Structure 1
């Protein structure tokens, strides 16, 4: 395991090798470990605004999901990615961590809990679900097709609309510009693989087997994974509660970090 200074001085970069593939993370804080899984359209830096608060009470592991940043790709299947991350958590020596996923990362965190039911102590699943509607599936296929033909730049504005409501974009142009730059750095093969995986995902029949306590969150303005998806997810999990975040869209921890922390603090302390 390698360590060096990361973007937050109190965090250290770590890498482990699982099945010959590198998995990278930033680690900081102390206490019960909490592992963060980022969105497809927003990389691991989308958690930066909540890291100080999380690190005050937990050992925080900010993953770079396979195919992002310094983490090597392991293919597009969510099952393979979940197994790879479960191996990485074991290699990092993290006993009974909490898993917190946003968007695409929420789907992977859920898949990890499905396939490795004894791994996590608790789940925070923000802006995800168990299955997309047909229009939702079509949106992923359309984005992938357009990006294949014209490049990620051709869908950057669509991606930002899926992250943030129009009013928030108008009020925060610098933040949106920075997120767009991050999105354009995503590996195209990883993006296409994720779009295909999400367009075909349906784990509704596996939710009853997830006994891990879960907090399901969703921004009321989320267009990428609308609130009905989170409602269905929370209803299907045996031990889950749902909270809708007023005024937020797909990345509430980035848009409203204080509100997000207020929503999860009691649950992750339990």
Structure 2
């Protein structure tokens, strides 16, 4: 995907990729400790004329750091969409990206026509678990927690079959700035999107992975029960990042959602 850009629509410079085209746009939102590259294989399964937007949230990839809450991350995304004239889009977010998508649907419903909420929840974790992770990352760096994080991200089968890829995903995680990572941890810790989820009024698919140790299927099911009319699916043998393990199936789900939206 071409069209790599930098822009500061909401006070911080954000690295993003834009592809203009025709039809309804698809917008991708990443998880904690990842960047836009986790969507590349999914994009390959979509119509090449589909308009697309991907971005690195604050403190990740090549984007500038800056402590903001979930509303701030949603405002960053809204600013990029406004900048490029995108609206009425299908938003696909994984983990914290799914939380950003829920916040965007509440704050800027004009931008959202449908949602694929992958491996996420209306609330993720507890204050105690997030505070412990923040303390460890700020004291010892992300490398200190990388092993357990990768085990939650990707299923045992994927890890065994893809040792070279695991080296790459480890590098992506550990090269995330510790301060940027910790800032997003705080945003997740402080976010309760129960009301946002209940207020979603667009076609929504909530996707889980049976091997997800970060946002297990029961959490995703709880989110689906909150969202009016939401569909729930669980991919067997998949961890926290279906876009890496089953990109073709994620692309198919997006195409089906497109048809459902009309």
1:57, distance to aligned residue in structure 2 (A): 4.9
Q: Is the 8 A contact 1:30 1:55 kept in 2?
A: no
Q: Partner residue of 2:16?
A: 25
Q: Partner residue of 1:3?
A: none
More strand by share: 1
Q: Partner residue of 1:120?
A: 112
Q: Does 1:215 align with 2:205?
A: yes
Q: Deviations over 1:158-216 (max 9, x none)?
A: 11012012332122111111000011111211111111222232221332222122111
Q: Is the 8 A contact 1:41 1:159 kept in 2?
A: no
Q: How many residues get paired?
A: 259
Tell me the distance in 2 between the aligned counterparts of 1:83 and 1:62.
15
Q: Is the 8 A contact 2:35 2:55 kept in 1?
A: no
Q: TM-score, normalising length from structure 2?
A: 0.91
Q: Is the 8 A contact 2:45 2:252 kept in 1?
A: no
Q: Partner residue of 1:88?
A: 80
**Mind listing any 5+ residue stretches in structure 1 that lack a counterpart?**
1-7
Tell me the distance in 2 between the aligned counterparts of 1:73 and 1:55.
33
Tell me the distance in 1 between the aligned counterparts of 2:103 and 2:78.
10
Pick the aligned partner of 2:238 from 248, 254, 266. Answer: 248
1:93, distance to aligned residue in structure 2 (A): 0.8
Q: Does 1:260 align with 2:250?
A: yes
Q: Is the 8 A contact 2:102 2:196 kept in 1?
A: no
Q: Is the 8 A contact 1:128 1:230 kept in 2?
A: yes
Q: Is the 8 A contact 1:219 1:248 kept in 2?
A: yes
Question: Structure 1's 33 and 161: CA in aligned 2 closer, same or farther, altered over 3 A?
Answer: same
1:55, distance to aligned residue in structure 2 (A): 4.5
Q: After the TM superposition, which parts of structure 1 deviate over 6 Å for at least 4 consecutive aligned residues?
A: none
Q: TM-score, normalising length from structure 1?
A: 0.89
Q: Partner residue of 1:16?
A: 7
Matches within 5 A, 1:202-241: 202-241=192-231
Q: Partner residue of 2:42?
A: 50
Q: Partner residue of 2:64?
A: 72
Pick the aligned partner of 1:201 from 191, 199, 203. Answer: 191
Q: Partner residue of 1:190?
A: 180
**Structure with bigger RCO (C-alpha 8 Å, 6+ apart):** 2
Question: Structure 1's 17 and 200: CA in aligned 2 closer, same or farther, altered over 3 A?
Answer: closer
